[in-house]
Structure 1
Amino acid sequence: MAGKRIGDHQVGIYKKHRAKLGQEVAAAKTGISVRSARRLDAIEGLPSQRPARAWRTRSDPFEAVWQSDIVPLLDATPALTATTLLEEMQRRYPGQYDVALLRTLQRRVRTWSASYGKEREVYFAQAHPPGRLGLSDFTHAAVLQVTIAGAMLLHLLYQFALAYSGWRYVEVVLGGESFMALSSGVQNAAWMMGGVPEEHRTDSLAAAFNNKSEQELLTRRYEALCSHYGMRPSRNNLGVSHENGSIEARQGTLKRTMEQALLLRGHRDFADLDAYRVFVAEVFGRLNARIASKFNEERALLIALPARRSSDYEEVDARVTKYGTMTVRKVLYSAPSRLVGHRLKVRIFSDKLECWLGNVCVLELRRGQPDPVSGRGKVVDYRHLLPALKRKPGALARSVLRDDLFPRTEYLQMWVHLKDALPEAQACRLMVGLLDLAGNEGCEAALAQRLAVLLVSGEMPDLDELRQEMAPRQAQCPTVTVVLPSLASYDCLLEAA
């Protein structure tokens, strides 16, 4: 029966047992067959001392075609597999080479590759002194299937890690791999750990840009960011991810740890984005607790932080049009009518926009992302356009932003119901009144629930009744009577003392 070869060590164990025991018992204790024991008793010396076998137990089935057919194919294309070569031989010589010969051909090809094959990639293990190297990378988190208030959250996770200690910082990123997300993540990590390493390495972020000028701009801004903190910038070669192995491996452990934490939590839905960010912070906090001693050792060798942070935003100009909107990076944003006609300096952060007029921040908006299909996006706040709609309610019917003005699905469903049940002018006035009630009375969510009930019952909303129902309740303050003791009562306390 075929099995593992008997080595010198096993022969020595058998000889030791054989000196005291019979052949069968010694073979059983050694773990070999009786037939092998008889063969060992009949020969002298160890297996390593015997000459290598120079004969074959059977004829080579590929001897006729090995040099003439197979070797030329391997010389021309070393990446060919034994399966492909066997199929080619079956095509050239029908009926001569059965599929059962595949294992034989695999051994022959493996031996040939070891002698004549192409050079393979060699990986060099690296030593990382403390305080020398920090790495950044982004990873897609769709596999976690996280939802915010029931809606799927499409996001990335940015991770910064120290190569020596393994300390890491993780941040939720909405959108793609932008310089703003990188700058924000690096600086947040630096100020959290209280210093920076000598070198900071990333992958080829230039892939996120479309042309050479943008790549050059990214390079200048990235070098300026690292120079501000006193770090030496570096990047791995394009498509060679193992050069960032210290961060690539930790991306897997991060997502596995988050997956386990979500399973333990029981569900993957979060009330808002801030709640999810707190969850992520708890996860990487537990990971950092495992390497606290090594991080304390490395933190003492980090470069001191500068006096202030560098800018982690990009600044562009945008004019608010007569429609109460402005476009920033292919995304349409609404703005209050008081800003119509003004040219604003817009600071683009990873998750928000700040709109400045001179040295005054006049507006802050949630940052939107272009749609992957159309390449355009919209972030519309109905509160910005509500004053104008109250003066011109009829404009709602055919406004290009009509569906984007409704803050929740229930409002859109109610508009469809009103449009079918009432004349257009009356439906517009009633819908604008509902939006006004939701925006100015601070009852958007509660009113949406009330509208859902009305839609199920088929009733029409009554604005006066809804205003009374949604009006804030008067606080009932209890009447507190304070009775002051007489001064003479303190004399009694003094006498008792």
Structure 2
Amino acid sequence: MTGRHLTDCQRRLYMKLRDIHTPSVAGAKAGFSTATAYLLEKELRLRPVGKPPRERRRPDPLVDIWDSEIVPMLRAAPGLRSVAIIEEMNRRYPGRYLGTRRTMERRIRGWRGLHGPEQEVIFRQTHEPGRMGLSDFTDMADLAITIAREPLDHRLYHFRLVYSGFEHAHVVLGGESYVALAEGLQNALWALGGAPSEHRSDSLSAAFRNLDDGARADLTTRYDALCAHYGMEPTRNNTGVAHENGSIESSHGHLKKAVEDGVLMRGSRDFVDLTAYRGFIDEVSGRHNAKYGARIDIERATLRELPGRRTIDFEEAIVTVTSSSGFVLRKVFYSTPSRLIGHRLRARLYDDRLDVYLGASLQMTMPRGRAHASGAHDHVVDYRHLIHSLRRKPMALMGLVYRDKLFPRQAYRRTFDVLLATVSARVACRTMVDLLALAHDRACEGELAERLTRDLDADILPDMSVLRGVFTPDAAALPAIVVTYMPLSAYDELATIVVGEAA
């Protein structure tokens, strides 16, 4: 390569290759001739051992502000970002330090390495099979999942074994709570077929929020009892220190990305009902676990055996049914059959439902409601509980507090709005009550909603005489059942004992 000077890059590459190659080979790989390689060898042999360090080639651009302004700022606020210091210098001296960003960042980084504060150390851990399981919640708002075209505000409870990577996800409709943790954890353990020796969660700060000291102590006791039921040692990471739960915090992103890929491949983010969405989440988790089947089998053999039964994963409350044929629990009004007015009921609150008992008898199961973020009360109302009273007082529908929640489907709400805009309030209320009664008496809520939708789209108001005729059972279509009685002599024959000859 006559006429060209060796670059610093070629020199460094040559010296690196010279450790394993001859001068000619190393020179060829570095891009110059064998003669040049031997000249470089001679230069390296003649270079003095104590070569002085390279001095600055240009004036220091930060000499006027480094010791007087930047260093005092770094000492006063060690957490101050480099970009904030650079912006502040540009505000103080407009245009003077525009081309020194890289220099300033490098100088600040070097200063912090010599004089900066001590930083937190992360200690890598050795994970043993069967030792630790982790729990956490992750928000799913970014995925915009809908149920029957309605947005689903939910989280995922996420359980993971550290050693094998087994994971389980459970859809949580409310916020972080003990009920959601207990239900999700037990579902995970029974799906796994065993329990680890230690269970770690975050500080449960969201579950403890807005609780008094007594309620917090009770929640801690219940969590400890839950872990003791499965023979697990309960542990928690420190508040605000996410990396202590890092084995599951980092996997949140992978889980959410897998769910995102799944909804993109199915072509829709909408699900028919909550059961279908939960089945989809189980399928995503199952595909993940299938990839780690061998490690999961190894860890499963070291897990503790499960107890004979699950422990409670609900909260109980005693409520009294008022004259409004319902009760209020956690700022939510729940309707009940009027026969229960005045009775004290025991309500079991799960994450997604409410079981109501009268004594030891289960009376009903209702979806769980939650108060609005503004603090306003919510209502969970079943029109079947109230229809017999509305028949006697149809005008009560006009100003009913929970009127919108009374309608079981959108078609009924739309029908009432059209009636109010077309006929008098008295006629509208009477017609609407008759429609709800028809849906209740003939068990045709869905079919009637479809008929109302078609009529409204055609600008046809509901006609009760026509609708009663449509949804009246056809007597001719009922099967004719013929009962044939056996003669009484047949029973005498059954009672007759025939004694045969002995063999």
Normalising to structure 1: TM-score of the pair? 0.87
The answer to whether 1:427 aligns with 2:432 is no
Counterparts in 2 of 1:7 and 1:67: CA distance versus 1, 3 Å: same
State the identity %. 45
How far off is 1:477 after superposition?
A: 7.3
- Name the counterpart of 2:499: none
> How far has the Cα of 1:460 moved from its partner?
2.2
Q: Which residue of 2 aligns with 1:105?
A: 104
Question: Any gaps of 5 or more consecutive residues in structure 1?
Answer: 21-25, 480-497
Cα 1:32–1:476, aligned 2, differ >3 Å: closer, same or farther? farther
Give, in whole Å, the separation in 1 of the partners of 2:20 and 2:182.
70
Q: Does 1:77 align with 2:77?
A: yes
Secondary structure at the aligned position of 1:111 is classed as helix
Distance in 2 of aligned mates of 1:353 and 1:373: 23
Q: Residue 281 of structure 2 aligns to which amino acid in structure 1?
A: V
Query: What's the secondary structure of 2:181's corresponding residue?
Result: helix
Take 1:319 and 1:286, find their aligned partners in 2: how far apart are those partners? 47
Alignment of 1:137-176 (within 5 A): 137-176=136-175
* Structure 2 equivalent of residue 444 of structure 1: 445
Q: CA deviation at 1:422?
A: 2.8
Tell me whether 1:7 sits opposite 2:12 in the alignment.
Answer: yes
Paired position in structure 1 for 2:30: 30
The change in CA–CA distance for 1:38 and 1:433 in structure 2 (over 3 A counts) is farther
Deviation, structure 1 residue 439? 2.3
Quick one: structure 1 residues 413 and 94, their matched pair in 2 at CA, closer, same or farther if it must change by over 3 Å? closer
Structure 2 Cα separation of the partners of residues 67 and 2 of structure 1: 36
Kindly state the Cα deviation for residue 243 of structure 1 after the two structures are TM-superposed.
Answer: 0.6
Do the aligned partners of residues 224 and 153 (structure 1) sit closer, same or farther apart at CA in structure 2, a change above 3 Å counting? same
Tell me, yes or no, if the aligned pair for 2:271 and 2:277 is still in contact at 8 Å: yes
Alpha-carbon offset, residue 425 of structure 1: 2.9
Which stretch has the larger CA shift, 66-75 or 388-397?
66-75
2:387·2:437 contact (CA, 8 Å) conserved in 1? yes
Q: 2:62 is matched with which residue?
A: 62
1:160 match: secondary structure = strand
Whether the 8 Å contact between 1:204 and 1:235 is mirrored in structure 2 is: yes
Name structure 2 gaps, 5 residues minimum.
1-5, 482-503
Contact 1:10 1:30 in 2 (8 A): no
2:53 alignment counterpart: 53
Partners of 1:73 and 1:47 in 2: CA distance: 43
Residues 250-303 of structure 1: CA distance to partner in whole angstroms, max 9, x if unpaired?
211111111111111111111111111111111101111111111111111111
Q: Quick check: 1:393–1:432 contact (8 Å CA) kept in 2? A: yes
Match of 2:143, as an amino acid? L
Secondary structure at the aligned position of 1:171 is classed as strand
Question: In the aligned structure 2, how far is the partner of 1:60 from the partner of 1:40?
Answer: 33
- How much does 1:428 deviate? 2.0
Matches within 5 A, 1:60-459: 60-89=60-89, 97-208=96-207, 209-211=209-211, 212-459=213-460
1:1-54 residue CA offsets vs partner (Å, 9 max, x unmatched): 99758437645449957547xxxxx756315799x9798356224999674624
Q: More displaced, 131-140 or 1-10?
A: 1-10
Amino acid at match of 2:366: L
Alignment partners' CA distance in 2, 1:3 and 1:454 = 85
For 2:31 and 2:472, locate their aligned partners in 1 and report how far apart those are by CA, in whole Å: 88
Question: AA paired with 1:378?
Answer: H
Cα 1:475–1:142 shift into 2, 3 Å:
farther
Q: In 1, distance between residues paired with 2:416 and 2:17?
A: 91
1:236/1:78 Cα in 2 relative to 1: closer, same or farther (>3 Å)? same
Match of 1:303, SS state, is coil
SS of the equivalent of 1:285 reads: helix
Q: Work out the CA distance in 2 between the residues paired with 1:381 and 1:105.
A: 68
Closer/same/farther in 2, CA of residues 32 and 429 from structure 1, 3 Å limit: farther
Give CA deviations for 1:323-352 in whole Å, capped at 9, x if unaligned: 112111111111111111111111111111
User: Which stretch shows the higher mean deviation, 60-69 or 168-177?
Assistant: 60-69
The 3-state SS of whatever aligns with 1:99 is coil
**C-alpha spacing 1:3/1:112, structure 2 compared with 1 (3 Å):** farther
Question: Contact 1:8/1:46 (CA < 8 Å) preserved in 2?
Answer: no
Native 8 Å contact 1:82 1:102 kept in 2: no
The aligned amino acid for 1:55 is E
Query: Please, which moves more after superposition, 206-215 or 47-56?
Result: 47-56
Paired residue type of 1:160: F
Cα 1:38–1:126 shift into 2, 3 Å: same
User: 1-side partners of 2:385 and 2:123: how far apart?
Assistant: 59
**1:494 alignment counterpart:** none
1:367 to 1:197, Cα distance in 2 relative to 1, 3 A: same
Conserved? CA contact 2:230–2:307, under 8 Å = yes
How far does residue 84 in structure 1 lie from its aligned partner after superposition?
3.8
CA RMSD of aligned residues (A): 3.0
**Aligned residue type for 1:77:** A
**DSSP 3-state at the match of 1:7:** helix
